[in-house]
Structure formats: structure tokens, C-alpha cells
Amino acid sequence: MSVFVALIILIGSAPFCRADELNELPLEGWKKLREVERYQMQVAEKYWREQNWKAALSEYEKFMTLYEKSEGAPFAHLKWSLCQCQLKKQNTAIKEGFQSVIDYWPESDQATAAAFYIGHTFKEIGRTKEAKKSLREVVSKHPAHLATVFALTDLIDIAATEKDEATQAELWKKMTFDLKRTPHAAGPCQQASRELAVYSFRQGAFDDGVKALATTYAPDQMPYHVQAYIRTPIAEQIADSKTKAKGEKLAETAVSWLKAQIPADVVKPEGKVLARQGWFAVADVLAVSQKDAEVPAAYEQMHKRFAPDDEVLGRFAAWHKSKTKYDLARAVYGRYADKNEGLGQIAYSYREQQNWPGAVQAYNQLIGQDAEHAVRWKPELAATQRAAGKWSEAIAVYEDLYTSDGKNSGRWRWEVAATHQQAGQLKEAIGHYRQCDNFPENYKAMAWCHRQLKQANEAVILYNQVSTHQPSAPWAYLQMAYTKEEAGQEQPAIQAFQTVCKKFPKDAHAGIAHAHLQQKYKISVTLGGAAEE
């Protein structure tokens, strides 16, 4: 599904709730109301904002009855109609609502809005033929009105459903080039320009795509966005042997255009920023078009021009990794100006390959050469040892951190406990969790370990203590119930599940307990009738 189609589906899913010029009374309109009229309208609008459609309908209807000659009458009638739509009475809304606004107040702004809502409502109830006719009339009669923007989005939505690309393109062009981008219209028009650009790129019309994007983005933003929106068309065409040549030509055109946008003067900071962005865009297009022989040259040219620049090297190495060429990636990381950061990336690349010995060696080297920041690298070494199943080695690193990094000692004691738990050394894990000071999390972890050791009573005692922490109480009571169930204590477990429902009827954990009682024990409990304690 295209981004634009997703947007208009979102717009269409709640069009009547959207606050804009179509369904909001402007300040001048409020000024024209008498005080009693203003009060009545405010009551109706309050219910509207609360999405209490029945109450709002009643209040708008009251306004229409009491103040039928008021300046606010067409607006009240329009909102009454929108309430009918929300209440699934679309035919009533069209015949007795929107059409009446047009008939009785044909020159009002609400009449234009009503014309759009007729078409939109037809679309929502599946009467596509009538929808297209009504929406096109809005576009024809009110080209400068916001209603036309929304009418066009609906028409595009219909065209997408009908797989009518030609009509979509026609409407995208209109929204991109013909409509004034007022605050409410800007977003849909900008999105239309992006969709038109992608469509043009798919057709091989590169210049047309660039023109579409130029209506939305400033010149210095264009290289990035051209690259961003041309990637998918290129990738799709390259992947299909029937369109591969077309995709390669599109990529060549894009690369040529992007290179032409790169400023020659990189002395000034702003020029350097734009040049780097341009070169990154070139490299990305070459990569997505699978020009693997040309990508390294692009990055090397960048690095030569901007060195030292570890970001360029980082992207170059990341491209090598995307091709599973990890040795080449590590060679690039080795060229970092920041040698410690480069070695850190080398170590991590070994972890990505699950080459644990290589990663351990790199981290140990890094800890030695960057002793000032050893506290940054030691946790990475410990995580590597854990991933390799080297539990004692990982624990030794965490114990060292516990001693050397006193301000974070609680964190490292927790990691020692968690490593013991991960290793299945549950008694040792409990002992270390007990030394942690992050209640209630350490008690939760201890209780879990006791459950794995089939020590239900100890787990329940800990969960009782956790329950004194109010935010954790519903969870703790539910865990007590599960623990008793695991221990084969059926009746105590049932009572514990029922306690969750009674003590916390509005909490999500009560819903879980309620469902469990029904599914496992065929017992129903009333959630809403219990008193909260």
C-alpha cells in the first residue's frame, strides 16, 4: 500500500471528527451569534469534542429549533448531519442533513462543506458511482476551497481501490501543482507530490519526479529526498529481469543528477554538509542499484575529500557488512581516525558473526589501549562472554566492574545475578538478587527463581512483599495465583485468581485472571460488581 493511500485511508477513517475549516465555526461566525445562541452552540460543541454523538445531535437539533434564523443555523445543521453519520444513519445525513444545508443556505461556506460530505458519505457506504460524481462536482465548482483538497484525496482513494493509476496520477498532479497549500491543505498536497514523484520515477520520468518533489522541498534538501523516493522504484525494477535495464538507466540518471548538485566549494561548513549529503545520496543509489563495483570508489572519493571522516568510513563498512564481507568491513573500521571507536566496531562485527573468540580478543585489546574508558568496554566483553555461554568469565568481568565502578555497583550486582540465572544457577542467582537494592524488581526475579526450583511457598512470600509496591500489586497477586496453580494447589489457586478480580476489577491483570478462570476452571466471576480495596 502506498504512503499516500495509507494517509487518505487514515483521513477517511475519521473525517467527521477532524477539526478543520469544514466543520469548525470560524471566529467571525462565533462573533455573529447572540449570547444565548453562543451558549447553546458551545454545549453542542462540547459533546461533539467528547464524541458523545447522541447528546451532540440533540443539542444541535435544539439550536436549529430555537434559532432557525440565526447566522449559526447552517453550521448547526451541518454538524447535526455529521452526528447522523457517526450514528451510522448516513442516508438520513445525506437527504435530510447535507442536502438541506445546500438547499436552504446555498451561498454559505457550510453548503460547500456539505457538498463534499455528501460525496464522502457516498464513498463510505460503498456507493462509488454517486461518490465520484459528487466529489468531482466539488472539485469543479470550488477549486480554491479546502473541500477540494479532501475531495481529491477521496477520489484518489477510490482510484487506488479501482487500480486506476492514470486517474491517480492526474489527481496527484492537480494537488501538487494547482492547489494553494494553506495550513490544512499543505499536508495532503505535500504527500501527493511525493506519490507523484514515486509514480514518475517508476515510469522512468526522472525530471517529472524531481519537479514534483521541488514543490515540497527546498533546493538544499532535494538530493536527500530524491534519493529517498527513488530507491524503491530502482530496487523493484532491478529485481525483475524484465525491467532491470530500465532500473539501471533510472539509477544512472539519478546518480548523474545527484553529482551535479554537489557543491564544489566545501571550505564553508554549510558547503561541506551539503557535499557530504550529496555523496551519501550517490553511494546509496549505487548500492540500491547493485552497482557493487562502483560503491567502493564513491566512498573512497568521499573519504579523500572529507578525511578524516569516520562517518564516511562507518557507512562504507556497513555496506560491506550488508554484502556479508565482514573482513573488508573490519579493514575499513581499522582506518578510523578514532582508533578506539574503530576497534569497538571491529569487536562488534565479530559478535554479529557469533565469532566469540574474535570479539573477546578485540574487546580485551580495547580495554588495554583505552583504559580511561574501560568501563564502557568491559560490559561489552561480559555480554560477549554470556552470549558464548562463558558464564564464569562473564561473572568475573561484572565482579571487577562492581569493584572498579562503585557508582554503578547496583547495576553490576544485578548483572552478576542475571548471569547466574541465565546459566541455570538459580540458588546463586537468588543470593545475588538479594544483595540488589532495586526493589521490587529484585524480589520479582528471586520469586521467579524459586518457582523454577519448585519452591512455591518461598515464591509466594516474595510476591506478597512485592504486592506492597502499589503499582506492582495486581501483577504480584496474579503471580501468586499462577504459583499456587503450578504447585498443584487447585483450590487456593482459584481463590487467588478470584482475589485478583475482586481487589483490582479495573486493572488489566483482573481481565487475565477472569479469562483464566473461565478457560481453565469454567468459573465465571463478575469483575464490575466487586469493591475495590
For residue range 226-285, what is the model confidence (pLDDT) as tens digits? 999 999 999 999 999 999 999 999 999 999 999 999 998 888 889 999 999 999 999 999
CATH number of the domain encompassing residue 2 = 1.25.40.10
The kind and range of the H/E element at 444 are helix 441-452
Query: Rounded CA gap, 182 and 453, in Å?
Result: 66
Structure confidence by residue, pLDDT tens digits, 125-143: 999 999 999 999 999 999 9
Q: CA 126, CA 183: separation in Å to the nearest integer?
A: 30
**R_g of the chain computed on alpha carbons:** 33
For residue 132, what is its C-alpha cell? 465520484
State the residue for C-alpha cell 483490582: 504
Percent pLDDT > 70 in the chain is: 95
Residues 235 and 285: beta-carbon distance below 8 Å = no
Neighbour-count burial of 87, counting CB atoms closer than 10 A to its CB (0-12 exposed, 13-18 middle, 19+ buried): middle
**3-state helix vs strand vs coil in the chain, percent to 5:** 75, 0, 25
Flag whether pLDDT at 6 surpasses 80.
Answer: no
Determine, yes or no, domain membership for 416.
no
> What span, in angstroms and rounded, lies between the C-alpha atoms of 62 and 56?
10
Which comes out higher in pLDDT, residue 16 or 483?
483
Cα dihedral: 69, 72, 74, 79 (round 10): -140
Cell 573490519, residue located: 330
pLDDT given at position 9: 38
- For the ranges 170-174, 322-326, 366-370, 528-532, the lowest mean pLDDT is seen at 528-532
The residue with greater pLDDT, 36 or 266, is: 36
pLDDT reading at 526 higher than 70: no
Expressed as residue numbers, the domain containing 73 is 1-131
Q: Is 124 inside any structural domain?
A: yes
93 located within any domain: yes
Question: Does residue 520 lie in a domain region?
Answer: no
The candidate with the shortest Cα–Cα distance to 212, out of 228, 199, 227, is 199
pTM of the model: 0.81
CB 230 within 8 A of CB 250: yes
What is the CA 173 to chain-centroid distance, rounded? 28
- Residue 182 and residue 519: Cα distance in Å, rounded? 56
Q: What is the pLDDT of residue 320?
A: 98
Mean pLDDT, rounded, of the chain? 94
Q: How far apart are CA 160 and CA 198, in angstroms?
A: 15
Domain assignment present for 182: no
Which positions ≥6 away from 214 have C-beta within 8 Å?
222
Q: How confident is the model at residue 31 (pLDDT cuts 50, 70, 90)?
A: very high
* Banded model confidence at residue 21, pLDDT cuts 50, 70, 90: confident
Q: Is the pLDDT of residue 4 over 50?
A: no
- Residue type at position 157: D
CA atoms within 13 A on the CB side of 459: 25
For residue 259, which of 308, 311, 305, 298 has the smallest C-alpha distance? 298
Nearest Cα residue to 6 out of 164, 166, 155, 191 = 191
Least confident stretch, 43-52, 276-285, 387-396, 519-528? 519-528
Cβ contacts of residue 96 below 8 Å, gap of 6+? 81, 84
Burial 221-251 (b: 16+ CB within 10 A, else e): ebbbbbbebbbebbeebbeeeebeebbbebb
Within a domain: 487: no
Convert the pLDDT of each residue in 377-411 to its tens digit: 999 999 999 999 999 999 999 999 999 999 999 99
Flag whether 107 is in a domain.
Answer: yes
Q: Is residue 17 part of a domain?
A: yes
Which pLDDT does position 524 carry in this prediction? 83
Domain tally, the chain:
1
Q: Are 385 and 393 in contact (CB under 8 A)?
A: yes
pLDDT of residue 530: 44
From CA 86, how far away is CA 74, in angstroms rounded? 19
Distance CA 476, CA 494 (A): 15
The helices-and-strands tally (H runs, E runs) of the chain is 30, 0
Q: 281 with 302: CB under 8 angstroms?
A: no
